Amino acid sequence: MRYIILLPVLLAACSLPSRTSFMPAPVAANPASIAATKAFAGRVPLITIPPGTVDFATPVAKAVHEARAIKPSAQFDVRAVSPVATGPDAAVAKLAALSGTAAAVAQAIIGDGVAPENVTLTAATSGTDTDIFVYVK
């Protein structure tokens, strides 16, 4: 008879396993990845091409192939970026200097089998470096 009375008391003292019992200290997010996502307005680039790069065809083709293997109807945005801190005239000059390479990257993506309507070419002033980014969605 005693066991019947003690059983509900013992069961009430037990709790179901939860996240706190398996992982009392949850793993914090990586600050570098958070900073990168903020730097790119929530989008992380598929490819980053520094200015002056002439041999970008092979890495671009590989990245495009891998992205299309995941999503065949993927859309690509080739964006030339220059920092704002240099001033508007300097930013425009740097973007103009990158425009030929950015157009060549867009043509390389189209040459890799992506439909022209799935490739956009844009320019923006943001970030701290002058680069060409290829975003995919």
How many CA atoms within 13 Å lie on the side-chain side of 79? 22
Residue 88 pLDDT greater than 70, yes or no: yes
The reported pLDDT for the residue numbered 84 is: 76
Q: Is 34 a residue whose pLDDT tops 70?
A: no
**In a domain? residue 9:** no
For the chain, what is the domain count? 1
Residue 83: both structure tokens together:
């920092």
- Supply the pTM of this predicted model: 0.66
| Domain boundaries, position 131 | 44-137
Average pLDDT over residues 51-71: 88
- At 23 the pLDDT is 53
The encoded tokens of residue 16 equal: 């179901």
* Inside any domain, residue 112: yes
**What pLDDT, in 10s, does the model give residues 89-129?**
888 888 888 888 999 999 999 998 899 999 999 888 877 77
Helices (H), strands (E): how many in the chain?
Answer: 5, 4
